[in-house]
Amino acid sequence: MSYKFIPNGTVTTPTGFKAAGAVGGVKPSNTTKRDIMMIASDTPCTAAGVFTQNLVKSSAVLLTKKHLENGTAQAVIANSGNANTCNADGMEKAEKMATLAATNLDIDPDDVIVASTGVIGQVLPIEPFEKAVPEIASAMSENGGSDAAEAIMTTDTVKKEAAVSVELSNKVITIGAIAKGSGMIHINMGTMLSFAATDAAISAEMLKSALEEAVDVSYNMVSVDGDTSTNDTLTIMANGAAGNEIITTRNADYAAFTEGLTALFKKMAKMLAADGEGATKLIVCRVNGAKTKSDAKGAAKAVICSSLVKAMIFGADANFGRVLCALGYSGCDIDISKVDVAFSSVSGRVEVCSNGAGIEFSEELAKKVLLEKEITIEVELNDGDGAAEGYGCDLTYDYVKINGDYRT
């Protein structure tokens, strides 16, 4: 393992990055929470991104995809409170956000990543940005990552931020990230936003490749409610400030960098799932023994997406049949007669199914295991070497309460 997590790490932990956030009042009712933020590098960066695959896309997504076509960026501007989606003037507003950031940071508007999150179909007011962006630019510091993380929160109850250091062949580099997401999360990069930064020197092509590899087994394995947001955006900027030999091929340094990035994103993915709207428990579905990696991923995703499994975990009811049911409709190549299932947590482990059939187990132990805050559903398919993890949360009464009147 070439990486280690950095205590209290955030997106500005890597050398050469600064950030800040401010109370802009994007929603007129907001007078206390930071809702506009910027992140910037001291120098131009190679950059890459992945985005929602929903046909309905925020204007911010469309603009950022365009800005990243040349593989470079130097700053991020983002807001919560309004998604800037399905608006006739959406692109105009997104471009204005980029221009305001660029003017106050003295960079090219084409080097600005733009993102928005919040309610869909309401016009984004530009006045809060005109007021807040100069204030943010003057407050930018290497200690501002947490303020930036707060500014992108919507129904999130906690900030999501972390950083890792990675040992390469001639230098130690750092990767930091922040994210937001609580509901409308069924990430298919392709409402989740995440911004990563690194002081590694890496080409745009290799950065994009590493990003896609890491996303595939982390963020793309998260589901809170089965809804793919219109605004999903994940970007990474690399400024090379660590001074390592630039990574231009899939060599050992590339492998170490990707391993660290993947570990970071998996940690962030668990944070997103655990903070799902109304959630009380994190669900990790660990699948082993699949015929292929694709089958393992599909099986894990089917289990954590199942409303019945999610409700079962909420009620701490070891109804393993719901796990088998999800595996059965996953569309993956699975021999159900070979499947073993167990539930585990810090309170213990209980086997509930062997070779596709129920076995005797202690209901008392099962209840104890399932009452914990993090539950692992262990699925052994006994049919190959494919393995994967999926990340989800329980389905609670509060999820409906939160989303029943989200707009009003």
- Closest Cα partner for 197 from 394, 6, 366, 344? 6
Find the catalytic residue in 46, 191, 228, 262. 191
Burial label, 408 (beta-carbon count in 10 A; 0-12, 13-18, 19+): exposed
Structure tokens at 68: 């990243």
d(CA 98, CA 108): 9
Residue with tokens 């230098």: 171
H helices of 152-238, in order, are 204-216
* Main-chain phi, psi angles of 66, to 5 degrees: -65, -45
**Phi, psi for residue 16 in degrees, rounded to 5:** 90, 10
For residues 401 and 257, give the distance between their C-alpha atoms in angstroms, rounded to a whole number.
Answer: 42
Amino acid at 169: S
β-strands 348-354, 160-167: how paired?
A: unpaired
User: CA 19 to CA 11: how far, in whole Å?
Assistant: 8
Q: Is 198 a catalytic residue?
A: no
Question: HSE (CB half, 13 Å, CA atoms) of 354?
Answer: 5
Question: If you count them, how many residues does the chain have?
Answer: 408
Cα torsion angle, 143, 148, 151, 157, sign = negative
Structure-token pair, residue 159: 């900030």
| Cβ contacts of 66 within 8 Å, gap of 6 or more | none
Cβ neighbours of residue 35 closer than 8 Å, sequence gap 6 or more: 21, 22, 23, 24, 25, 26, 27, 79, 80, 81, 128, 151
β pairing state of 3-5 and 17-22: unpaired
Helices (H) and strands (E) in the chain, counts: 11, 15
Q: Using the structure block, give the residue that is written with the tokens 């994007």.
A: 26
Residue in 73, 72, 3, 10 with CA at minimum distance from that of residue 261: 3
Tell me which residues are annotated as active site: 191
